[in-house]
């Protein structure tokens, strides 16, 4: 039991329990905060995998911007005090549990029996957290992946315009 | 010794929890958050496999991380538009129970 394995097990326990807390919490704000904890834990996993830029952008964009947006909308709509009505299909919940357990068991079996992955993930060296690796990643991003980068910027512009158009008041004074 | 299997199994478990959250919750905001959890689980698999390739080939490999960068950007765009839609639906229906959003009209 090396220290790496212990750190990995503790962090994965935190990640899984915060994901379960998000899925089962009755209060929507608690769900959002559980999800923030899950994102920060996954960002620490990215650091263990030698991806510091992705870890920081996960914390900044995912946990810092997207979840704040969620919290704004939850508080705007008053969703934290919504009492869930009884579901129209009462057999859906047990069936969802059974299918989820089946999926997890099946994927674990397939990973160990068929995929035969045997690479041991070692800790990243000192070079992974330096500016050299960041510069190399930026060179790859802007040389090899220039077209997806530009398309993503157009996508963000389209999403921004769409969100503004959807939230605009209609002409004619209707609320 | 952390094998890559552990990361992939963790990604599969997080993805399944997200899928289960989509199926069993009635509040569309929490359904949306479960979708984000599924995307996050896929991102973890991307970075893990990118690191695995980097270890076996010996050279630095950034394509996994760059892919995650794009997935995060697309998720941000999707969240913006989706939340605007939910707010718009709330304006007309005055509540956001997912069982009542069963018509494309309005």
Structure tokens at A36: 């923030």
Mean pLDDT over all residues of chain B? 89
pLDDT band at B1 (very low <50, low <70, confident <90, very high): confident
With 50 as the cut, is the pLDDT of residue B37 above it? Answer: yes
Contact between A62 and B43 (Cβ < 8 Å): no
Q: How far is A141 from chain B (nearest CA, A)?
A: 7
pLDDT of residue B9: 94
Cα(A18)–Cα(A36) distance, integer angstroms: 9
pLDDT of residue A115: 78
pTM of the complete model: 0.91
Each of the 175 residues of chain A gets a pLDDT tens digit; together they read 688 899 999 999 999 999 999 999 988 999 999 999 999 999 999 999 989 999 999 999 999 999 999 999 999 888 766 666 666 677 888 899 999 999 999 999 998 888 777 778 777 777 777 788 889 999 999 999 999 999 999 999 999 999 999 888 766 544 4
Nearest to B70 by CA among B61, B62, B58: B62
pLDDT of residue A37: 96
Give how far Cα A96 sits from Cα of B21, B22, B25, B27, Å: 9, 10, 11, 16
Q: Where do the domains of chain A lie? A: 3-167
Give how far Cα A90 sits from Cα of A87, A94, B29, B32, Å: 6, 8, 21, 21
With 70 as the cut, is the pLDDT of residue B98 above it? Answer: yes
Contact between B45 and B10 (Cβ < 8 Å): no
Q: How many CB atoms lie under 10 A from the CB of residue A157?
A: 11
Q: Where do the domains of chain B lie? A: 4-100
With 70 as the cut, is the pLDDT of residue B11 above it? Answer: yes
Q: Which residues contact B14 (CB under 8 A, 6 or more apart)?
A: A15, A16, A19, A38, B37, B38, B40, B41, B44
pLDDT tens profile A61-101: 999 999 999 999 999 888 766 666 666 677 888 899 999 99
Structure tokens at B85: 């839609």
| Chain A from 53 to 112: CB within 8 A of any B CB | 53-54, 57-58, 61-62, 65-66, 69-70, 73-74, 76-77, 79, 82, 84-85, 87-88, 92-93, 96-97, 100, 103-104, 107-108, 111-112
Which of B64, B83, B91 is facing A175, going by the closest CB pair?
B91
Q: Interior CA angle at A58 toward B43 and A155, to 5°?
A: 75
Q: What is the CATH number of domain B4-100?
A: 1.10.287.3510
Contact between B94 and A75 (Cβ < 8 Å): no
CATH architecture of A3-167: Up-down Bundle (1.20)
Interface check for A5 against chain B (CB to CB < 8 A): the answer is yes
The partner residues of A120 in beta bridges, in order of sequence, read: B3
With 90 as the cut, is the pLDDT of residue B25 above it? Answer: no
pLDDT of residue A82: 64
Whether the CA torsion B43, A108, A96, A32 is positive or negative: it is negative
């Amino acid at each position: 039991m090396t220290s790496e394995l212990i750190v990995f097990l503790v962090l994965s326990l935190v990640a899984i329990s915060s994901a379960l807390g998000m899925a089962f919490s009755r209060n929507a704000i608690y769900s959002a905060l559980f999800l923030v904890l899950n994102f920060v834990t996954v960002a620490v996993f990215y650091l263990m995998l030698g991806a510091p830029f992705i870890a920081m952008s996960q914390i900044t964009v995912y946990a810092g911007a997207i979840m704040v947006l969620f919290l704004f909308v939850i508080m705007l709509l008053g969703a934290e005090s919504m009492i869930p009505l009884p579901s129209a299909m009462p057999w859906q919940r047990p069936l969802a549990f059974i299918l989820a357990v089946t999926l997890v068991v099946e994927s674990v079996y397939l990973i160990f029996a068929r995929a035969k992955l045997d690479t041991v993930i070692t800790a990243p060296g000192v070079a992974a957290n330096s500016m050299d690796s960041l510069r190399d990643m930026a060179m790859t991003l802007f040389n090899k992946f220039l077209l997806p980068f530009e398309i993503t910027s157009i996508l963000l512009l389209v999403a921004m315009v769409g969100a503004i158009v959807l939230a605009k008041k209609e002409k004619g004074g209707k609320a | 010794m952390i094998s890559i299997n552990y990361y992939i199994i963790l990604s599969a478990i997080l993805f399944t929890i997200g899928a289960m959250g989509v199926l069993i919750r009635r509040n569309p905001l929490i359904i949306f958050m479960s979708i984000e959890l599924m995307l996050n689980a896929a991102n973890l698999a991307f970075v893990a496999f990118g690191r695995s390739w980097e270890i076996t080939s010996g050279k630095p490999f950034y394509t996994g991380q760059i892919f995650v960068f794009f997935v995060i950007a697309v998720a941000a765009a999707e969240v913006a538009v989706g939340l605007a839609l939910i707010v718009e639906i709330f304006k007309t229906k005055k509540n956001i129970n997912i069982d009542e959003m069963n018509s494309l009209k309005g």
